[in-house]
Amino acid sequence: MHTRRNFLQQVAAATIAIPLSSLSSLAAVRARDGKVLRVALMGLGGYASRVAEAMQSCTKAKLTGIVSGTPSKIKDWQNKYGIPEKNCYSYDTFDQIKNNPDIDVVYVTTPNALHHNNVIRAAAAGKHVICEKPMALNAKEGREMIAACRKAGVQLLVGYRMHFEPKTLEVVRMRNSGEFGKILFFQGQCGFRIGDPTQWRLNKALAGGGSLMDIGIYALNGARYMVGAEPVWVTAQETKTDPVKFKEGVDETIQFQLGFPDGTVASCLSTYNMNNLDRFFLNGEKGFAELQPSTGYGPIRGRTHKGELTQPHKTHQTVQMDEMAGILLEGRQPVVPVNGEEALKDLQIIDAIYQAVKTGRRVDLHLG
Ligand code: NAD
């Protein structure tokens, strides 16, 4: 069996005069053996660029296609990554991807409000879909996306890169093996001071909300995988210091609390107006875990009552894409789920947090 590196060495040795397009088709031939996930990225912005770079180091996933509304970006990406013309799409031509056997999955990295429609289109084209977080603007959209993927017989995964992060998984392993004892409390603090007031993240129509949709989701998703249970109620409070920058429906800061069936409580902070907030703390009857930074691009740092966590850092998106290849091509099961149903639970909690902010009342959760 070839490793990716010796395959590339063989290609390099044999193809000094071979143009890029032929190299791509050689890669496609190798991909057809079913061991490499062939990925088309949709929405070539900041995060797509990060994923594309990280995928260069993947052993099981490869960038083979792109979808963009900007022709100059398509050219740049073709040159940079050797993507053949036939694997490049605009939003107008995108549905034709169904006739392209060299693409297994579409990875949607457009602004939040466009996830719903783009995922449903990709599913209708018969492709598996990876969608960035938040999967959608609300639980109703999320359910429609799950139903569309089910109907099309394709899988829907969500870009929860922390679910594959080694130090995070060590804490999950320790919790599962009882090393913290009964879990009593989780604290998640996620935020940063957001810049340019004209960006889509501060536009309710494109973002679906404010800090909670973008960064606070890490605290609420983290509460679930750190505690290892599903919350049954939520309370929430919003504070806004700059109503010009953070318009109606765009939350600047939200604090929320989650209650779990056995009495465990999570206390979380989501903000677009404070830096140095990237911290998880898990407390149990026998011990604790602290991650800081906890969800940034890393390296993640952490310690428990037993000492420092020493698992080596790997680029999150490289690990994520290789692991997702294992899920989509080999049916592997991740330790912490990354499917649409997992993301729907986050959307249900987000809906409830906004409702709790609005009503000032505790909202009961019935996830699933
Ligand atoms: P970005 O603004 O850098 O990129 C968005 C891309 O979508 C741009 O290329 C833009 O041209 C394109 N686009 C297509 N249709 C558009 C429209 N109608 N309006 C505006 N842009 C349009 O944003 P980003 O930071 O790459 O975020 C994209 C998605 O990825 C978001 O859902 C975000 O939450 C998610 N994200 C996830 C992570 C993570 O760590 N998992 C990190 C950053 C962003």
| Distance set, CA 16 to CA 13, 84, 211 (Å) | 7, 19, 50
The CATH homologous superfamily for domain 162-312+340-364 is: Dihydrodipicolinate Reductase; domain 2 (3.30.360.10)
Strands 156-158 and 307-308: unpaired
- Segment (H or E) for 186: strand 183-191
Question: Distance between CA atoms of 176 and 289, rounded to whole angstroms?
Answer: 13
Question: Distance between CA atoms of 254 and 244, rounded to whole angstroms?
Answer: 17
Question: 111 near 213, Cβ under 8 Å?
Answer: no
Looking from the CA of residue 200, the nearest atom of ligand 1 is 20
SS3 assignment, position 205: helix
- In the prediction, which pLDDT does 79 show? 98
- In the prediction, which pLDDT does 30 show? 43
Question: Distance between CA atoms of 368 and 366, rounded to whole angstroms?
Answer: 7
Ligand 1 pocket member 135 (CB < 6 A)? no
- CA 223, distance to chain mean position in Å, is 16
SS3 assignment, position 339: strand
Same fold for the pair 34-158 and 162-312+340-364: no
- In the prediction, which pLDDT does 28 show? 40
CA of 45 to the centre of ligand 1 (A): 6
Beta-bridged to residue 65, according to DSSP, are: 40
SS3 assignment, position 20: helix
- In the prediction, which pLDDT does 368 show? 83
CA of 111 to the centre of ligand 1 (A): 4
Which residue has its alpha carbon closest to ligand 1 atom 15? 110
Token code pair at residue 55: 């995928």
* Of 130, 125, 132, residue with least CA distance to 152: 125
Q: What is the pLDDT along the chain (368 residues), one digit of tens a residue?
A: 333 333 333 333 333 333 333 344 434 434 445 589 999 999 999 999 999 999 999 999 999 999 999 999 999 999 999 999 999 999 999 999 999 999 999 999 999 999 999 999 999 999 999 999 999 999 999 999 999 999 999 999 999 999 999 999 999 999 999 999 999 999 999 999 999 999 999 999 999 999 999 999 999 999 999 999 999 999 999 999 999 999 999 999 999 999 999 999 999 999 999 999 999 999 999 999 999 999 999 999 999 999 999 999 999 999 999 999 999 999 999 999 999 999 999 999 999 999 999 999 999 999 98
Beta-bridged to residue 327, according to DSSP, are: none
Token code pair at residue 285: 């009857």
In the block, tokens 């690990």 appear at 319
Ligand 1 pocket member 216 (CB < 6 A)? no
**Best mutation site among 72, 91, 107, 110 for ligand 1, i.e. most ligand atoms within 8 A of its Cβ?**
110
Give the Cβ contact number of residue 281 at 10 Å.
17
**Residue ranges of the domains in the chain?**
34-158, 162-312+340-364
* Of 345, 356, 351, residue with least CA distance to 255: 356
SS3 assignment, position 270: strand
Catalytic annotation present for 218: yes
- In the prediction, which pLDDT does 33 show? 52
- In the prediction, which pLDDT does 25 show? 40
Question: Distance between CA atoms of 364 and 205, rounded to whole angstroms?
Answer: 27
Q: What's the CATH class of domain 34-158?
A: alpha beta
**Best mutation site among 109, 165, 218, 316 for ligand 1, i.e. most ligand atoms within 8 A of its Cβ?**
109
- In the prediction, which pLDDT does 193 show? 98
Which one is catalytic: 60, 62, 127, 133? 133
Of the chain, the end-to-end C-alpha distance in Å amounts to 42
**Residue-by-residue DSSP string for 103-126:** --EEEE-S-GGGHHHHHHHHHHTT
Ligand 1 pocket member 200 (CB < 6 A)? yes
Specify the amino acid at residue 338: V
* Of 345, 330, 311, 42, residue with least CA distance to 170: 311
Catalytic annotation present for 306: no
Identify the DSSP state of 213.
Answer: I
Looking from the CA of residue 213, the nearest atom of ligand 1 is 34
Which residue has its alpha carbon closest to ligand 1 atom 42? 47
